Amino acid sequence: MKYYILKRILIIIPTFIGITFITYLMIRLAPGDFTSLRAGVEGELKAGSLSKEIFEQEKKLYGLDKPVIVGYAEWFYKTVKLDFGTSRKDGRKVIAHIADALPITLSLNIFSIIIVYIISIPLGIYSSIKKDTLQDRIISLILFLLYSLPSFWVALLLLKYLSGGDYLNLFPLGGLFSDWFDQLDIFQKAADLLWHLILPVTTLTYGGFAFLSRYTRATMLDVINQQYILTARAKGLSEQKVLFVHAFRNSLIPLLTLMATMLPGLLGGSVIVESIFSIPGMGMLAFESILSRDIPIIMAITSISAFLTLIGIFLADIMYAIADPRIRLEATQ
Protein backbone atom coordinates (compact mmCIF):
# COMPACT_ATOMS: atom_id res chain seq x y z
CA MET A 1 0.00 0.00 0.00
CA LYS A 2 2.80 2.40 0.89
CA TYR A 3 4.52 1.55 -2.35
CA TYR A 4 1.26 2.13 -4.21
CA ILE A 5 0.81 5.59 -2.69
CA LEU A 6 4.42 6.51 -3.43
CA LYS A 7 4.03 5.39 -7.03
CA ARG A 8 0.87 7.43 -7.41
CA ILE A 9 2.55 10.53 -6.00
CA LEU A 10 5.54 10.15 -8.32
CA ILE A 11 3.27 9.90 -11.35
CA ILE A 12 1.75 13.27 -10.47
CA ILE A 13 4.99 15.16 -11.22
CA PRO A 14 5.52 14.27 -14.89
CA THR A 15 1.79 14.50 -15.54
CA PHE A 16 1.76 18.02 -14.11
CA ILE A 17 4.71 19.07 -16.24
CA GLY A 18 3.05 17.58 -19.30
CA ILE A 19 -0.24 19.40 -18.74
CA THR A 20 1.34 22.79 -18.09
CA PHE A 21 3.80 22.49 -20.96
CA ILE A 22 1.06 21.69 -23.45
CA THR A 23 -1.00 24.60 -22.15
CA TYR A 24 1.94 26.97 -22.46
CA LEU A 25 2.71 25.69 -25.93
CA MET A 26 -0.90 26.20 -27.00
CA ILE A 27 -1.09 29.80 -25.78
CA ARG A 28 2.21 30.70 -27.37
CA LEU A 29 1.27 29.09 -30.68
CA ALA A 30 -2.21 30.60 -30.76
CA PRO A 31 -2.35 33.64 -33.03
CA GLY A 32 -2.64 37.02 -31.38
CA ASP A 33 -0.93 38.45 -28.33
CA PHE A 34 -1.65 40.94 -25.60
CA THR A 35 0.29 43.81 -27.15
CA SER A 36 -1.35 43.83 -30.56
CA LEU A 37 -4.75 43.34 -28.95
CA ARG A 38 -4.38 46.73 -27.38
CA ALA A 39 -4.78 48.32 -30.82
CA GLY A 40 -8.50 48.13 -30.43
CA VAL A 41 -11.65 46.64 -29.01
CA GLU A 42 -14.04 44.10 -30.42
CA GLY A 43 -14.77 45.00 -34.06
CA GLU A 44 -13.13 48.40 -33.82
CA LEU A 45 -9.53 49.53 -34.08
CA LYS A 46 -8.08 52.86 -33.07
CA ALA A 47 -6.97 54.75 -36.14
CA GLY A 48 -3.23 54.77 -36.57
CA SER A 49 -2.57 52.45 -33.69
CA LEU A 50 -0.64 49.76 -35.52
CA SER A 51 3.09 50.18 -35.83
CA LYS A 52 5.17 47.06 -36.16
CA GLU A 53 8.51 48.16 -34.69
CA ILE A 54 7.06 49.57 -31.52
CA PHE A 55 4.88 46.55 -31.01
CA GLU A 56 7.81 44.19 -31.53
CA GLN A 57 9.75 46.15 -28.97
CA GLU A 58 6.96 45.71 -26.46
CA LYS A 59 6.70 41.98 -27.07
CA LYS A 60 10.35 41.65 -26.01
CA LEU A 61 9.46 43.26 -22.74
CA TYR A 62 7.31 40.24 -21.96
CA GLY A 63 9.68 37.60 -23.26
CA LEU A 64 7.46 36.77 -26.22
CA ASP A 65 10.47 36.85 -28.54
CA LYS A 66 12.07 33.90 -26.75
CA PRO A 67 11.60 30.31 -27.90
CA VAL A 68 8.68 28.46 -26.35
CA ILE A 69 10.88 26.00 -24.47
CA VAL A 70 12.89 28.78 -22.81
CA GLY A 71 9.71 30.64 -21.94
CA TYR A 72 8.27 27.50 -20.38
CA ALA A 73 11.43 26.76 -18.42
CA GLU A 74 11.44 30.28 -17.00
CA TRP A 75 7.79 29.99 -16.08
CA PHE A 76 8.33 26.59 -14.45
CA TYR A 77 11.31 27.78 -12.44
CA LYS A 78 9.29 30.69 -11.06
CA THR A 79 6.22 28.57 -10.39
CA VAL A 80 8.21 26.06 -8.35
CA LYS A 81 9.13 29.01 -6.15
CA LEU A 82 5.35 29.77 -6.05
CA ASP A 83 5.81 32.99 -7.98
CA PHE A 84 3.03 33.16 -10.55
CA GLY A 85 4.13 36.54 -11.89
CA THR A 86 2.02 39.61 -12.65
CA SER A 87 -0.99 40.01 -14.89
CA ARG A 88 -0.43 41.77 -18.19
CA LYS A 89 -3.73 43.56 -17.97
CA ASP A 90 -3.30 45.54 -14.77
CA GLY A 91 0.15 44.76 -13.42
CA ARG A 92 -1.26 43.17 -10.26
CA LYS A 93 0.16 39.94 -8.89
CA VAL A 94 -1.58 36.91 -10.36
CA ILE A 95 -1.94 35.58 -6.82
CA ALA A 96 -3.93 38.70 -5.90
CA HIS A 97 -6.30 38.09 -8.81
CA ILE A 98 -6.87 34.53 -7.72
CA ALA A 99 -7.22 35.57 -4.08
CA ASP A 100 -10.02 37.95 -5.16
CA ALA A 101 -11.87 35.54 -7.39
CA LEU A 102 -11.39 32.23 -5.63
CA PRO A 103 -13.41 32.84 -2.42
CA ILE A 104 -16.33 34.05 -4.53
CA THR A 105 -16.30 31.01 -6.78
CA LEU A 106 -15.70 28.66 -3.88
CA SER A 107 -18.65 29.99 -1.90
CA LEU A 108 -20.93 29.80 -4.95
CA ASN A 109 -19.81 26.28 -5.78
CA ILE A 110 -19.91 24.95 -2.24
CA PHE A 111 -23.43 26.26 -1.77
CA SER A 112 -24.51 24.80 -5.08
CA ILE A 113 -22.97 21.41 -4.40
CA ILE A 114 -24.53 21.20 -0.96
CA ILE A 115 -27.92 22.06 -2.38
CA VAL A 116 -27.55 19.63 -5.26
CA TYR A 117 -26.64 16.86 -2.82
CA ILE A 118 -29.40 17.72 -0.35
CA ILE A 119 -32.06 17.65 -3.02
CA SER A 120 -30.78 14.99 -5.39
CA ILE A 121 -29.95 12.23 -2.92
CA PRO A 122 -33.39 12.02 -1.31
CA LEU A 123 -34.96 12.28 -4.75
CA GLY A 124 -32.72 9.47 -5.99
CA ILE A 125 -33.53 7.26 -3.02
CA TYR A 126 -37.23 7.97 -3.42
CA SER A 127 -37.08 7.13 -7.11
CA SER A 128 -35.25 3.87 -6.41
CA ILE A 129 -37.87 2.82 -3.86
CA LYS A 130 -40.66 3.77 -6.23
CA LYS A 131 -38.84 2.38 -9.23
CA ASP A 132 -40.85 2.52 -12.48
CA THR A 133 -43.94 3.99 -10.82
CA LEU A 134 -45.68 7.15 -11.96
CA GLN A 135 -43.87 9.18 -9.25
CA ASP A 136 -40.48 7.95 -10.47
CA ARG A 137 -41.32 8.92 -14.04
CA ILE A 138 -42.65 12.34 -13.10
CA ILE A 139 -39.50 13.06 -11.08
CA SER A 140 -37.29 12.00 -13.97
CA LEU A 141 -39.30 14.06 -16.42
CA ILE A 142 -39.04 17.19 -14.28
CA LEU A 143 -35.35 16.69 -13.61
CA PHE A 144 -34.54 16.18 -17.25
CA LEU A 145 -36.63 19.19 -18.18
CA LEU A 146 -34.64 21.30 -15.73
CA TYR A 147 -31.42 19.80 -17.03
CA SER A 148 -32.27 20.87 -20.56
CA LEU A 149 -33.01 24.53 -19.78
CA PRO A 150 -30.13 26.78 -20.85
CA SER A 151 -28.75 28.64 -17.85
CA PHE A 152 -28.36 32.06 -19.47
CA TRP A 153 -32.05 32.00 -20.35
CA VAL A 154 -33.17 30.95 -16.90
CA ALA A 155 -30.84 33.49 -15.29
CA LEU A 156 -32.18 36.37 -17.36
CA LEU A 157 -35.79 35.31 -16.74
CA LEU A 158 -35.18 35.08 -13.00
CA LEU A 159 -33.67 38.54 -13.00
CA LYS A 160 -36.37 40.02 -15.19
CA TYR A 161 -39.28 38.75 -13.12
CA LEU A 162 -37.87 38.67 -9.60
CA SER A 163 -35.39 41.50 -9.40
CA GLY A 164 -37.28 44.69 -9.93
CA GLY A 165 -37.52 47.04 -12.81
CA ASP A 166 -40.87 46.14 -14.32
CA TYR A 167 -41.97 43.10 -12.27
CA LEU A 168 -41.50 41.67 -8.75
CA ASN A 169 -38.72 43.19 -6.73
CA LEU A 170 -37.55 40.42 -4.39
CA PHE A 171 -33.87 39.98 -5.12
CA PRO A 172 -30.87 42.13 -5.98
CA LEU A 173 -29.80 42.40 -9.60
CA GLY A 174 -26.33 41.08 -9.22
CA GLY A 175 -23.14 41.29 -7.26
CA LEU A 176 -22.58 39.52 -3.97
CA PHE A 177 -23.00 42.33 -1.47
CA SER A 178 -25.14 45.40 -1.10
CA ASP A 179 -23.54 48.82 -1.37
CA TRP A 180 -24.14 49.32 2.33
CA PHE A 181 -22.55 45.99 3.27
CA ASP A 182 -19.89 47.62 5.46
CA GLN A 183 -22.47 49.16 7.75
CA LEU A 184 -24.10 45.83 8.63
CA ASP A 185 -23.45 43.62 11.62
CA ILE A 186 -22.21 40.08 11.16
CA PHE A 187 -25.66 38.43 10.97
CA GLN A 188 -26.98 41.00 8.57
CA LYS A 189 -23.84 40.52 6.49
CA ALA A 190 -24.47 36.79 6.27
CA ALA A 191 -28.10 37.39 5.41
CA ASP A 192 -27.14 39.95 2.80
CA LEU A 193 -24.73 37.52 1.18
CA LEU A 194 -27.34 34.76 1.16
CA TRP A 195 -29.90 37.12 -0.31
CA HIS A 196 -27.50 37.87 -3.15
CA LEU A 197 -26.60 34.21 -3.61
CA ILE A 198 -30.12 32.86 -4.07
CA LEU A 199 -30.57 33.57 -7.78
CA PRO A 200 -27.04 32.64 -8.92
CA VAL A 201 -27.08 29.48 -6.84
CA THR A 202 -30.49 28.57 -8.25
CA THR A 203 -29.11 28.99 -11.74
CA LEU A 204 -26.08 26.89 -10.94
CA THR A 205 -27.99 24.05 -9.29
CA TYR A 206 -31.19 23.29 -11.16
CA GLY A 207 -29.36 21.53 -13.97
CA GLY A 208 -27.34 19.37 -11.58
CA PHE A 209 -30.21 17.49 -9.95
CA ALA A 210 -30.75 15.13 -12.85
CA PHE A 211 -27.26 13.63 -12.88
CA LEU A 212 -26.82 13.10 -9.17
CA SER A 213 -30.31 11.80 -8.46
CA ARG A 214 -30.09 9.34 -11.35
CA TYR A 215 -26.69 8.28 -10.07
CA THR A 216 -28.06 7.76 -6.55
CA ARG A 217 -31.03 5.88 -7.91
CA ALA A 218 -28.77 3.54 -9.88
CA THR A 219 -26.38 2.82 -7.02
CA MET A 220 -29.31 2.32 -4.64
CA LEU A 221 -30.91 -0.13 -7.01
CA ASP A 222 -27.62 -2.01 -7.24
CA VAL A 223 -27.46 -2.35 -3.50
CA ILE A 224 -31.13 -3.15 -2.99
CA ASN A 225 -30.79 -6.17 -5.22
CA GLN A 226 -27.95 -7.56 -3.13
CA GLN A 227 -28.55 -10.65 -1.07
CA TYR A 228 -27.69 -9.01 2.24
CA ILE A 229 -30.66 -6.72 1.77
CA LEU A 230 -32.79 -9.78 1.35
CA THR A 231 -31.22 -11.12 4.54
CA ALA A 232 -31.97 -7.89 6.35
CA ARG A 233 -35.56 -8.03 5.26
CA ALA A 234 -35.73 -11.74 6.13
CA LYS A 235 -34.58 -11.11 9.67
CA GLY A 236 -37.57 -8.80 10.06
CA LEU A 237 -36.01 -5.33 10.04
CA SER A 238 -38.31 -2.43 9.30
CA GLU A 239 -38.25 -1.12 5.73
CA GLN A 240 -36.78 2.20 6.95
CA LYS A 241 -33.89 0.41 8.62
CA VAL A 242 -33.29 -1.76 5.59
CA LEU A 243 -33.16 1.24 3.32
CA PHE A 244 -31.27 3.79 5.35
CA VAL A 245 -28.98 1.68 7.50
CA HIS A 246 -28.11 -1.12 5.12
CA ALA A 247 -28.80 0.01 1.59
CA PHE A 248 -28.05 3.75 1.65
CA ARG A 249 -24.80 3.48 3.62
CA ASN A 250 -23.43 1.07 1.09
CA SER A 251 -24.51 3.15 -1.84
CA LEU A 252 -22.69 6.11 -0.31
CA ILE A 253 -19.25 4.82 -1.31
CA PRO A 254 -19.46 5.71 -4.99
CA LEU A 255 -21.03 9.04 -4.06
CA LEU A 256 -18.05 9.88 -1.87
CA THR A 257 -15.50 9.10 -4.53
CA LEU A 258 -17.58 11.20 -6.89
CA MET A 259 -17.01 14.09 -4.47
CA ALA A 260 -13.24 13.63 -4.64
CA THR A 261 -13.28 14.10 -8.38
CA MET A 262 -15.33 17.24 -7.88
CA LEU A 263 -12.46 18.93 -6.05
CA PRO A 264 -10.97 20.69 -9.10
CA GLY A 265 -14.48 21.51 -10.29
CA LEU A 266 -14.91 23.68 -7.22
CA LEU A 267 -12.41 26.14 -8.68
CA GLY A 268 -14.06 26.51 -12.04
CA GLY A 269 -16.62 29.24 -12.34
CA SER A 270 -19.42 29.52 -14.85
CA VAL A 271 -18.71 32.37 -17.25
CA ILE A 272 -22.40 32.72 -18.06
CA VAL A 273 -23.64 32.88 -14.49
CA GLU A 274 -20.82 35.18 -13.42
CA SER A 275 -21.30 37.63 -16.25
CA ILE A 276 -25.08 37.79 -15.92
CA PHE A 277 -24.99 38.24 -12.16
CA SER A 278 -21.96 40.57 -12.25
CA ILE A 279 -19.92 38.27 -10.03
CA PRO A 280 -16.17 38.60 -10.57
CA GLY A 281 -15.26 34.94 -10.06
CA MET A 282 -12.82 32.44 -11.49
CA GLY A 283 -14.86 31.80 -14.64
CA MET A 284 -14.66 35.39 -15.83
CA LEU A 285 -11.03 35.64 -14.78
CA ALA A 286 -10.07 32.60 -16.82
CA PHE A 287 -12.26 33.51 -19.78
CA GLU A 288 -11.02 37.11 -20.02
CA SER A 289 -7.40 36.15 -19.58
CA ILE A 290 -7.66 33.66 -22.41
CA LEU A 291 -9.31 36.21 -24.70
CA SER A 292 -6.68 38.81 -23.89
CA ARG A 293 -3.77 36.33 -23.99
CA ASP A 294 -2.77 37.22 -20.43
CA ILE A 295 -0.31 34.34 -20.17
CA PRO A 296 0.62 34.54 -16.46
CA ILE A 297 -3.02 34.27 -15.37
CA ILE A 298 -3.88 31.51 -17.82
CA MET A 299 -0.88 29.51 -16.65
CA ALA A 300 -1.62 30.04 -12.97
CA ILE A 301 -5.23 28.92 -13.31
CA THR A 302 -4.32 25.91 -15.43
CA SER A 303 -1.55 24.79 -13.13
CA ILE A 304 -3.65 25.17 -10.01
CA SER A 305 -6.56 23.27 -11.47
CA ALA A 306 -4.27 20.66 -13.01
CA PHE A 307 -2.68 20.17 -9.61
CA LEU A 308 -6.04 19.85 -7.89
CA THR A 309 -7.34 17.45 -10.52
CA LEU A 310 -4.33 15.25 -10.01
CA ILE A 311 -4.76 15.39 -6.23
CA GLY A 312 -8.47 14.65 -6.68
CA ILE A 313 -7.76 11.61 -8.81
CA PHE A 314 -5.12 10.52 -6.33
CA LEU A 315 -7.54 10.80 -3.41
CA ALA A 316 -10.24 8.96 -5.32
CA ASP A 317 -7.82 6.14 -6.06
CA ILE A 318 -6.76 5.92 -2.44
CA MET A 319 -10.40 5.91 -1.33
CA TYR A 320 -11.19 3.13 -3.75
CA ALA A 321 -8.21 1.20 -2.50
CA ILE A 322 -9.36 1.58 1.07
CA ALA A 323 -12.96 0.73 0.24
CA ASP A 324 -12.29 -2.13 -2.13
CA PRO A 325 -9.89 -4.85 -1.02
CA ARG A 326 -9.49 -6.11 -4.60
CA ILE A 327 -7.83 -2.86 -5.72
CA ARG A 328 -5.64 -2.85 -2.62
CA LEU A 329 -4.51 -6.36 -3.45
CA GLU A 330 -3.70 -5.52 -7.04
CA ALA A 331 -1.73 -2.49 -5.91
CA THR A 332 0.54 -4.44 -3.63
CA GLN A 333 1.51 -6.88 -6.33
Q: Which of residues 207-236 bind other proteins (CB under 8 A)?
A: none
Interface residue with other proteins, options 7, 46, 131, 137 (CB under 8 A): 46
Binders of other proteins in range 265-284 (CB under 8 A)? 275-280, 284
Q: How many CB atoms lie within 10 A of CB 154?
A: 18
Q: Does 24 bind other proteins (CB under 8 A)?
A: no
Nearest approach in angstroms of CB 49 to other proteins is 5
Buried b (16+ CB within 10 A) or exposed e, 168-205: eeebbebebebeeeeeeeeeeeeebbebbbebbbbbbb
Q: Does 61 bind other proteins (CB under 8 A)?
A: yes
Angstrom distance (rounded) from CA 265 to CA 269: 8
Q: Does 64 bind other proteins (CB under 8 A)?
A: no
Q: In 185-247, which ranges are continuous DSSP H helix?
A: 186-205, 209-224, 227-234, 239-241
Contacts of 64 (CB under 8 A, 6+ apart): 28, 33, 35, 71
Nearest approach in angstroms of CB 40 to other proteins is 7
In the complex with other proteins, which residue's Cβ is closer, 15 or 178? 178
Q: Does 62 bind other proteins (CB under 8 A)?
A: yes
Nearest approach in angstroms of CB 19 to other proteins is 22
Q: Does 149 bind other proteins (CB under 8 A)?
A: no
Q: Which CA distances in Å does 192 have to 181, 244, 260?
A: 8, 36, 31
Q: Does 307 bind other proteins (CB under 8 A)?
A: no
In the complex with other proteins, which residue's Cβ is closer, 74 or 330? 74
Q: Does 113 bind other proteins (CB under 8 A)?
A: no
In the complex with other proteins, which residue's Cβ is closer, 75 or 310? 75
Q: In this structure, what DSSP letter does residue 181 have?
A: G
Burial class (CB in 10 A: 0-12, 13-18, 19+), 17: middle
Binders of other proteins in range 160-199 (CB under 8 A)? 160, 163-166, 169-170, 173-175, 178-180, 183-184, 188, 191-192, 194-195, 198
Which among 13-21, 87-95, 212-220, 226-234 is the span making contact with other proteins, rule CB under 8 A?
87-95
Q: How many CA atoms lie within 13 A of 144 on its CB side?
A: 7
Q: Do residues 87 and 294 touch, judged by C-beta distance below 8 A?
A: yes
In the complex with other proteins, which residue's Cβ is closer, 10 or 291? 291
Interface residue with other proteins, options 79, 86, 140, 151 (CB under 8 A): 86
